[in-house]
Amino acid sequence: MPQLHKTQICIIGAGPSGLLLSQLLAQAGIDTIVLDRKDRTYIEGRIRAGVLEQGTVEALKQAGVADRLHAQGLPHDGFELAFDGVRHRIDLKALTGRSVMVYGQTEVTKDLFDARFADGQTFFFNVDHVTPNDLKSDRPKVHFTQGGEQHVITCDYIAGCDGFHGVSRAAIPQNVLKTFERVYPFGWLGILVDKPPVSHELLYANHAEGFALASMRSETRSRYYIQCDRGDDIANWSDRRFWETFATRLGPDAAANLQTGPSFEKSIAPLRSFVAEPMRYGNLFLAGDAAHIVPPTGAKGLNLAVADIRLLSRALIEHYAGNDHHIDSYSQTALNRVWKVERFSWQLSTLMHQFPENSPFEKRIQRAEFDYIAGSEAASKTIAENYVGLPLE
């Protein structure tokens, strides 16, 4: 016989989306159970994004997990775009009155885990065969196994926060689900190195040989990326080859400040844009990467997921208070914002990367677009407004 459990919200996925949803709901007295196919150590160890919109910072503060963020995070009032060595600063503070915060997603996840464990959250880690069922009923169920033992959770709602490869989106019938995808013909090779950043702000560079990004996790730890072939092998990239390529693409002015050293993490991530519609089916809700993927160029992945959770937590809290307006409109409200963020991430990716299929005409159009942004306050403001984060709805 399976072990039986009951809760109000079953959250599939213990990444930052699922943890934040659990934290916000707990503050409203709503019970949750959180499942994940991995364990806490593995989840906390994943290397992800590090630029937080102001709305994300506010959500983490609301959740009561922003103390370390404010103590250790790096506020950024701008960032730079560069094209063949010509640099243009987007002054976020002057153009929008807002800033972003550099604070690694790994640290956000640790802060949320600490809060949930301190509150006695019920977790099931290392689970297999997770299957959402009865999604159109008033009491949906989630079946899973852990250590060979069968479990069934009965709940009011299921929140699918289990990422692009998770089971939640796959539970929506094929004749209901619509997906939209753009797969890019390149990836990002990223490294972490314990050296001070080459610049105190992020620098996005388009060079004839490809894209590069100079980012950071702290004042002593840098996160650097270069564009590479989508199917490239990490074994092809020694540290020496990476540093030579990275310096060339940054340009001589920026590279003059570059401090190199041995990398302690190196990986290649393919780039894609992806959206699934709808983000609700029956009593299953999708949030974060389960519903959408953006290329990392605009630093939107985690921020977009947090925006989903802000909308979903509000909808569920209001539902239990007797108001179903936001729960009924969740999917459309979230998707309206998702597509705007997808547009910006696609735009910045198109501007800053070398596409193998681009003709000389299209390459000149890229440069003309950069020159227009550099020469137009209105164009720079459009970039800035999207970078700091669009309104929630």
**Dihedral sign, CA of 163, 167, 170, 171?**
negative
* Amino acid at residue number 8: Q
Tokens of 38: 């991995």
Q: Just list the catalytic residues.
A: 76, 204, 296, 300, 387
Count other C-beta atoms under 10 Å from residue 175's C-beta: 6
Query: Whose CA is closest to 277, among 327, 332, 337?
Result: 332
Tokens of 175: 């004749």
Q: Which residues pair with 213 in a beta bridge?
A: 204, 225
Residue with tokens 């290392």: 126
Spatial distance between the Cα atoms of 59 and 6, rounded to a whole number of angstroms? 28
CA triplet 107, 203, 46: central angle to 5 degrees? 25
Spatial distance between the Cα atoms of 160 and 166, rounded to a whole number of angstroms? 8
Residue with tokens 């003309």: 368
Query: Whose CA is closest to 49, among 108, 111, 115?
Result: 108
Residues 212 and 85 sit within 8 Å (Cβ to Cβ): no
CA triplet 59, 64, 67: central angle to 5 degrees? 100
Backbone angles phi, psi at 197, to 5 degrees: -60, 150
